[in-house]
Amino acid sequence: MVRQRPKWHIRLPFGKSLHQPIGGVDRPSDFRRQSSIPGTMPIREGKGDPIRGTPSSSFSATPEVTIEEPPSSSEPDSSNFGPPNPSPQPGKPWRWTLMWLAALAILSGMGTAALLWLVSLPPPPDCKQPTLDMERLYCAQQAVQSGELPELIAGLNLVKQWTPEHPMYAEAKKLKEEWSKQILAIAREKVRASDLKGAMELIRHIPESTPAYEEAQAAVAEWQKQWSQGEEIYAKVQDAMKNQNWNLASEQIAVMAELENPYWNARRANDLAQQLNIERRARQTLTQAQKLAEMGSPEQLSEAIAIVEQLPDGSYAMADAKANRKQWSQLLVSQAIDLWQQGNTERASAILQVSAKITPAPELQDLILFGNAYGQASTISSRWLPSLEQIWKLMEAIAAIQQVQPESQFYTQAQIHKSNWQSQLKDSIQLEYANLFASLGQRSTFELAIAQAQQIAPDRPRRLQAQTLISFWFDEIERLEDEPRLRYAQSLAQSGQIPDLQAAITEASKIPQSRSLRLEAQSWIATWRNQIQVVEDQPYLDRAYVLAQQGDLNGAIDAANAIRPERALYAEAQYAIDGWQSELIRTSQVAHDRPLLNQAHSLAESGNLSEAIQVASQISSGRALYGEAQSSIARWRDQLNPPRRSDLEDGDSEPDLPDFATPSPDSPQPSDKPSSSDGATPPNEGQPFDSNGAPAPVIESVPAPPELLDEPSPPLIEELPQSSPEAIDEPSPPEPSDSYEGFYDERYYQDSE
């Protein structure tokens, strides 16, 4: 249980203090004595001064202290009933302590402020209005630190006026020498930047009393010497380039590169080298243009003028080319006048377009204006659809031709063209309005555009263009009328079913032949008919593929032959039939020739290579196993006639084989191992269909009649008799020894010995 501290309520009359005696009690002994009276309780003020309150009905004589004691708890508070502490004597020693502390704080603050004032720097002088020489020198030093040339010159002018009697002369002398060196360094930079005049102006600010003055004068003399040498060499190089003396110019540039001044040996020498290259190329270009102009034709003159226009401005070649260009242009304009008088206005206008790049003679100004206007108007005749560009070019042509003066010899012809172009402009504006109506794409707007274009009379210059537009807009009206029917037919055909395709064909056939969509409708009709044929014939072809995969090639051929010619799948069916027939022929040939090849392999394994060759040679060219047979024959011949060691040392190749030993490029490549004698097709000889079901490539051979496929073919050696090689008596190979396994030919070792 938490015990609450008692709350005491003390009521005192106004103006009284607890330190004053209460009820005549002015001694501690009296207070202690009175505190033992029943019904009273001591209280403590400050450090524990006991105060006792006594009941009284009058408040005038003594103050009254009423103490309300809280309810007592079960456990008495022993702290409230202890012996009273004696009260200290009242006094004022703490006031003196505060006064001494305040005085000490004031003295410490004054000392700290004085110390800070002593150790801090004085404020910098006001450089805007310096009054003393020391302030002026300080401000000059601060300004020179910025590195600006005017500030450096101003500071130097300030200190060089002070005499040795000046109190700050020693410090000013050091600054004057330092600043003079800086000015000399800046002057050297100006010389490197080709500003000799500016460098000379800076040198004048260096005082004569400084050590840098003599160095500056020596530098000035050297600069003037090098500058005069550089200018002399520069003039020689320019004269050499002007006279096209390229060798002399190169030599002088090399001499300039040896000068000590960086401005001349680096910058100006590089500039001259670049200028020399430019002048050389410009002269070559000018020579090429002069050769073209010597031919005299308008085309060559125009090309020559275009070439010289590319010459760089300011070059010596350009100065010479200006006179040539003016001469060629005058000649070109004269030829244009002749062509114009001959009636060849188009070519004359093209020539004048080129000659307008220069300033022609005054009497040819009107001709050039006329040619430019004609060129603008001639570019609008190639388009049948009106446009704002055509209208704008006609307006430009009319404005250009109006500048031809009445006193010009071309004025009459210009007025004729002007009247024609004005008529074309009026018709073009009317057709542009009609085209604007037609661009809305509605039947009513097309009819309005047609009515607008029909207002152009037959004698107007744009009559043909108007009739072309009228025909085009009529076609657009027909397209608007027939397009819904064609789109409906296309929607019917989307299912791919035969009834829907037939309905689509019927719907598209309703478009008459004279309509604009007739050709597109016929194209769709042909497509849908092919789709119907594919749907009808695809089962036959699928059946044929299934039979072929099952090995029934004859049945597959019969099934594919059910597709008639002129059907959509006829070409695919015939392609498959050709492949299957070729496979039948190949199977028949393999069945006939495989026993011969197996017999030849058996003879070769027993050592009778000659007989093996004779048997394998019975397989003639063009047969399915011809390539495999020839490969075996070549291998056996190599075993019969191995190459001699001397032939190998001489680099001879293998012995040549007869022509029949070379496999045909059309024959399949033989396998390394002989096939079985049952006549089955080897795995590597291909199948009628590949993995994705497509027909195998056709073997170029003549298909045999079906009635002969089941009959055994006679030996091919009887059909194509050929001389068999003479039999070679081959000695039987000796028994292999234990140390060597394989075939041993004694003749090889005898020849090598």
Q: 40-81 pLDDT, tens per residue?
A: 444 444 444 443 443 333 333 344 444 444 444 444 444 444
Please give the pLDDT value at position 134.
65
Burial of 626 (0-12, 13-18, 19+ CB in 10 A): buried
- Rounded Cα distance between 735 and 744, Å, is 9
Given a contact cutoff of 8 angstroms between Cβ atoms, the answer to whether 619 and 720 are in contact is no
Instruction: Of 318, 325, 322, give the one whose Cα is nearest residue 303.
Output: 325
Q: b or e along 220-252 (b: 16 or more beta carbons within 10 Å of the residue's beta carbon)?
A: beebeebbebbeebbebbbebbeeeeeeebeeb
Position with higher pLDDT, 342 vs 273: 273
Please give the pLDDT value at position 239.
92
pLDDT at position 399 over 70: yes
Annotate 16-34 with three-state secondary structure: CCCCCCECCECCHHHHHHH
Please give the pLDDT value at position 238.
92
Contacts of 24 (CB under 8 A, 6+ apart): 30, 62
Please give the pLDDT value at position 156.
66
pLDDT at position 546 over 90: yes
Average the pLDDT over 376-393 and give the result. 73
Average the pLDDT over 364-378 and give the result. 69
pLDDT at position 392 over 80: yes
Please give the pLDDT value at position 278.
92
Given a contact cutoff of 8 angstroms between Cβ atoms, the answer to whether 518 and 511 are in contact is yes
Instruction: Of 304, 307, 299, 305, give the one whose Cα is nearest residue 281.
Output: 307
Q: What is the pLDDT of residues 435-476, one digit of tens each?
A: 888 988 888 999 999 998 999 898 888 888 899 899 899 988
Q: What is the pLDDT of residues 253-276, one digit of tens each?
A: 998 888 877 778 888 889 999 999
Cα 615 to its chain centre, rounded Å, is 70
Among 274-278, 342-346, 405-409, 574-578, the minimum mean pLDDT is found in: 342-346
For residue 243, report the phi and psi dihedrals to the nearest 5 degrees: -90, 5
**Integer angstrom CA distances of residue 502 from 237, 420, 509, 540, 567:** 93, 58, 11, 21, 16
Residue 323's pLDDT band, with cuts at 50, 70 and 90, is confident
Among 65-74, 265-274, 366-375, 722-731, the minimum mean pLDDT is found in: 722-731
Residue 203's pLDDT band, with cuts at 50, 70 and 90, is confident
Given a contact cutoff of 8 angstroms between Cβ atoms, the answer to whether 440 and 478 are in contact is no
Mean pLDDT score of the chain: 71
pLDDT at position 248 over 70: yes
- Rounded Cα distance between 151 and 160, Å, is 14
Please give the pLDDT value at position 338.
77
Average the pLDDT over 666-679 and give the result. 37
Position with higher pLDDT, 594 vs 717: 594
Average the pLDDT over 548-568 and give the result. 89
Percent of the chain with pLDDT over 70: 62
Q: Which residues are bridge partners to 476 per DSSP? A: none
Position with higher pLDDT, 212 vs 54: 212
Please give the pLDDT value at position 159.
66
pLDDT at position 212 over 60: yes
Among 123-127, 478-482, 594-598, the minimum mean pLDDT is found in: 123-127
Contacts of 333 (CB under 8 A, 6+ apart): 351, 352, 355, 360, 361, 364, 367, 368
For residue 689, report the phi and psi dihedrals to the nearest 5 degrees: -130, 145
Biggest CA pair distance of the chain: 176
Please give the pLDDT value at position 30.
42
For residue 532, report the phi and psi dihedrals to the nearest 5 degrees: -65, -45
Token reading at 60: 């005038």
pLDDT at position 21 over 60: no
Token reading at 679: 């006549």
Position with higher pLDDT, 150 vs 595: 595
- Rounded Cα distance between 751 and 604, Å, is 24
Show me where the domains of the chain are located: 1-69, 133-193, 211-360, 589-752
- Rounded Cα distance between 178 and 199, Å, is 18
Q: Is 48 left (phi over 0), alpha (psi -120 to 50) or beta?
A: left
pLDDT at position 524 over 90: yes
Residue 26's pLDDT band, with cuts at 50, 70 and 90, is very low
Among 44-53, 199-208, 341-350, 421-430, the minimum mean pLDDT is found in: 44-53
**Integer angstrom CA distances of residue 730 from 641, 725, 727:** 11, 14, 9
Residue 302's pLDDT band, with cuts at 50, 70 and 90, is confident
Residue 145's pLDDT band, with cuts at 50, 70 and 90, is low
Position with higher pLDDT, 176 vs 661: 176
